[in-house]
Amino acid sequence: MLHTQHRCSPVQQMMDLPSSWHQHHSMGLHRERRLLFRRRPPPPNISTPVTSTSAAGADHGFMTQVAIGTPPRTQTVLIDTAASFSWVQCSPCARNGCYSQDGPLFDTRTSSTYATVPCSTQPCVSVDATMARTNCSDGDKACLYRVEYTDRSVSQGRVSRDTLTLGQEKLHGFMFGCSRHHEPTFGRYSGIFGFANDRVSFFSQVVEKSRQYRAFSYYLPSPSSVGYIQVGSYDDGGLAFTPMFSRNLYYFLALTGITVDGSPIDLASSKLSKPSEFVMYLDLGSAFSLLPSHVYKRLCDAVDQGIKGYDRIHGGEQSCCFDPSFLSTERAVPTVQIQFRNDVRLVLNEARLTYETPDERLCLGFVPSANRFLLGSMQLQMAYVVQDVEKSIMGFPRT
């Protein structure tokens, strides 16, 4: 029996990552995984470490490392469950077309297995069926893509194929976008890899090419630790499952309620219509969760009633923040629970409910929207979660 970081450990060899990844692996994560898998060893799957995009309190994006090409070149990509088409920045890049990222761009000229996808072929048509749109280049008739996100950022370039390396697995003919132009900006990551439920997403291609079970699970870390995401079979011990649905590539759940210290919040927009369930979308690419404006206000008011040691900051309808009361000796934040069908509950402790700003204010990790419920990545951090696409269920830690 060896420690996972021992030089002879098979886990250390399979991960094949720099020592810095292991040095920052928190003891809390080790304890969490021991508890989750103490009944039996983890089932075989494809797993890769995950880190936060930033140590800043308000940034809860999550990245992982993949390798593309022959020889493989490492790329750090953002994980997005609401995105389908995957892409990385490629060189050569159009003038002023690429943004600054950590690490070099993927140079297609250095890979012996790189190829562009011709336009009017079935792979090109498959991309056009996603949120990306395609056309043909004037010269070599290559398949071109353009994908625009909800924040109006844009990536565009050539639809391509190359070998994808995940740990010890080599997946040949992986289809992705070679981005050579962007609008207006992205983070320091190389690109975005999608986990949506369609044929061309990163998740679906990995499942098909490696013959994995159609599910993915993850432990999203705090900004100072390392988590993981894995594709394939999983351990269901200690999890409670609720039905999961998909619509137009997006995953969503049946939301049945939100409570603050056990007291329910009215989710309906009017007294004339009180449905028992609401649609809540899932999006790891969104840092914060979205709530309809009327629900956001009710949640803020309820947290204000239950919080101790903080004074509410009034005047901003788009944010719910609190200043520390320096005369108070007690600090306490109420517990919020998000409830789903089958009485499954996601418990939001202080770390999943609030974040601290540089000036020590405490703010809710939610954003008001017109009428949409969406579960973002902040509310899922530091919890083992499963999205079983094959069985259309989602698992949360049992309360």
3-state helix, strand, coil in the chain (%, to 5): 15, 40, 45
- Count Cβ atoms below 10 Å from residue 318 Cβ, excluding itself: 8
Catalytic residue among 162, 198, 235, 283: 283
Q: How far is 200 from 209, CA to CA, in rounded Å?
A: 12
Q: Which neighbouring-strand residues pair with 179?
A: 89, 157
Residues 6 or more apart whose Cβ sits within 8 Å of residue 41:
none
Using the Cα atoms of residue 30, residue 351, residue 80 and residue 291 in order, give the sign of their dihedral. positive
Of 340, 333, 331, residue with least CA distance to 399: 340
Q: How far is 122 from 105, CA to CA, in rounded Å?
A: 28
Amino acid identity of residue 369, one-letter, is: S
Main-chain dihedrals φ then ψ at residue 139, nearest 5 degrees? -85, -75
- Joined together, the tokens standing for residue 119 give 């336009």
Is 106:91 a contact under the CB 8 Å cutoff? yes
Main-chain dihedrals φ then ψ at residue 315, nearest 5 degrees? 115, -15
Catalytic residue among 80, 198, 235, 388: 80
Amino acid identity of residue 254, one-letter, is: A
343 is catalytic: no
80 is catalytic: yes
Residues labelled catalytic: 80, 283
